[in-house]
């Protein structure tokens, strides 16, 4: 099939423009990834101290284990919290999380499973499946906002305490490195025992708290008041970790996708340039032959 040099040249120009866009998006994603990693690093000392306090309080006050957020009960209604992005162009980031969320929901023994979804991509997908969504939240912007964390935590804690949910599960993308992220499922509520809660936090990537000597605590005004403050705060820490990991994973996936797209654009431009040169050379050769043939015919 004959190819027009002008069409090839226009295609090269279009692909070069796309490559410039994907290259710029690669740089933006790289910058945001560094900020997300720095935010996750900065949050670790706070999370670690919460773990230490939970360890100390669990050892000093067994009565705290009776708090409603720690109590297990028969599971009739479950909630799956799904963390996705508002924007696309991030490879398989959203599809991997959503596939895991579907598997988690199908594997639950609850008679009813409902969803709380963060991010427009997840909202659109869950609704397309006809699954019930109780609450939606926007995905974090450039940085994770403490108000977003508090709003999500309040919704989930209220749902659990009022028996709207008997179990709450988190499904998000755990950030390992810029080149590796893993869809992750963890049980948020009930927390079980305090020792189980601390172990779950350590499994989630936090640094284990160092061994401490036994302390004789004096609780003011009461153990119940402490639990009412400390346990919701701990849940916010877990949600914050999921949001930070999700944000970093999204930027990492977008960086890799845009970098691959830029490299593919460069490779395609090279191939089209060779094709353009070959077609142009053939066109010039044809024109020369036509001129020579015309000259010979004229002399005859």
pLDDT tier, 104 (very low <50, low <70, confident <90, very high otherwise): very high
**Residues above pLDDT 70, as percent of the chain:** 86
Assess contact for 96 and 180: CB atoms under 8 A.
no
Count of domains observed in the chain: 1
pLDDT of 4 strictly over 70: yes
pLDDT of residue 243: 93
271 inside domain: no
pLDDT of 227 strictly over 60: yes
Instruction: Provide the residue range defining the domain that includes 117.
Output: 32-254
Between 160-169, 213-222, 228-237, the lowest mean confidence (pLDDT) is in 213-222
pLDDT in tens, 16-57: 999 999 999 999 999 989 998 888 888 888 888 887 777 777
211 inside domain: yes
Q: Which range scores top for mean pLDDT: 51-60, 63-72, 213-222? A: 63-72
pLDDT of 200 strictly over 60: no
pLDDT of 81 strictly over 90: yes
pLDDT of residue 56: 74
Catalytic residue annotation:
90
**H or E segment and range at residue 77:** strand 77-83
Angle at which helix 93-107 crosses helix 223-299, to 10 degrees, equals: 130
Mean confidence (pLDDT) of the chain:
85
| Mean pLDDT value across residues 141-164 | 89
- CA dist 161 and 157 (Å) reads 6
Assess contact for 281 and 62: CB atoms under 8 A.
no
Tokens 């705290």 label which residue?
64
pLDDT of residue 1: 44
96 inside domain: yes
pLDDT in tens, 240-262: 999 999 999 999 999 999 999 99
Tokens 């094709």 label which residue?
275
Spell out the alpha helix ranges (H) of 80-192: 93-107, 120-128, 146-161
**Through-space distance between the first and last CA atoms of the chain, rounded to whole angstroms:** 35
- CA dist 212 and 246 (Å) reads 33
39 inside domain: yes
47 inside domain: yes
**CATH code, domain carrying 139:** 3.40.1380.10
**Residues above pLDDT 90, as percent of the chain:** 49
Between 103-117, 138-152, 154-168, the lowest mean confidence (pLDDT) is in 138-152
| Mean pLDDT value across residues 91-98 | 94
pLDDT tier, 289 (very low <50, low <70, confident <90, very high otherwise): confident
pLDDT tier, 142 (very low <50, low <70, confident <90, very high otherwise): confident
pLDDT of residue 80: 96
Spell out the alpha helix ranges (H) of the chain: 5-60, 93-107, 120-128, 146-161, 194-203, 223-299
pLDDT of residue 166: 93
pLDDT of residue 17: 94
pLDDT of residue 195: 56
Nearest to 169 by CA among 82, 93, 42, 53: 82
64 inside domain: yes
- CA dist 117 and 105 (Å) reads 13
Q: Is 93 left (phi over 0), alpha (psi -120 to 50) or beta?
A: alpha
239 inside domain: yes
181 inside domain: yes
pLDDT of residue 230: 83
pLDDT tier, 67 (very low <50, low <70, confident <90, very high otherwise): confident
The two three-digit tokens of residue 167, written as one number: 């179990």
- CA dist 133 and 67 (Å) reads 28
């Amino acid at each position: 099939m004959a190819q027009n040099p002008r069409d090839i040249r226009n295609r090269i120009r279009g692909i070069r423009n796309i490559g410039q866009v994907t290259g710029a998006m690669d740089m933006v994603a790289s910058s945001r990834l560094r900020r997300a990693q720095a935010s996750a690093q900065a949050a670790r000392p706070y999370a670690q101290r919460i773990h230490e306090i939970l360890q100390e309080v669990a050892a000093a006050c067994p009565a705290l284990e009776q708090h409603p957020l720690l109590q297990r009960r028969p599971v009739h209604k479950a909630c799956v919290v799904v963390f996705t992005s508002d924007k696309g162009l991030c490879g398989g980031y959203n599809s991997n999380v959503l596939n895991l969320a579907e598997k988690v929901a199908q594997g639950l023994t609850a008679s009813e499973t409902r969803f709380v979804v963060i991010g427009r991509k997840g909202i659109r997908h869950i609704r397309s499946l006809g699954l019930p969504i109780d609450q939606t939240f926007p995905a974090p912007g450039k940085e994770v906002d403490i108000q977003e964390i508090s709003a999500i935590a309040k919704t989930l804690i209220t749902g659990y305490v009022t028996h709207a949910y008997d179990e709450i599960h988190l499904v998000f993308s755990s950030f390992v490195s810029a080149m590796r992220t893993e869809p992750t499922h963890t049980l948020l509520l009930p927390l079980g025992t305090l020792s189980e809660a601390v172990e779950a936090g350590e499994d989630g990537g936090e640094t284990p708290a160092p061994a401490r000597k036994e302390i004789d605590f004096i609780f003011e005004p009461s153990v119940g008041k402490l639990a009412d403050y400390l346990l919701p705060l701990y849940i916010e820490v877990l949600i914050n970790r999921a949001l930070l990991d999700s944000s970093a994973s999204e930027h990492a996936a977008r960086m890799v996708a845009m970098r691959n797209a830029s490299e593919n654009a460069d490779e395609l431009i090279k191939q089209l340039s060779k094709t353009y040169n070959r077609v142009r050379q053939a066109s010039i050769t044809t024109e020369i032959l036509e001129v020579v043939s015309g000259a010979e015919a004229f002399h005859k």
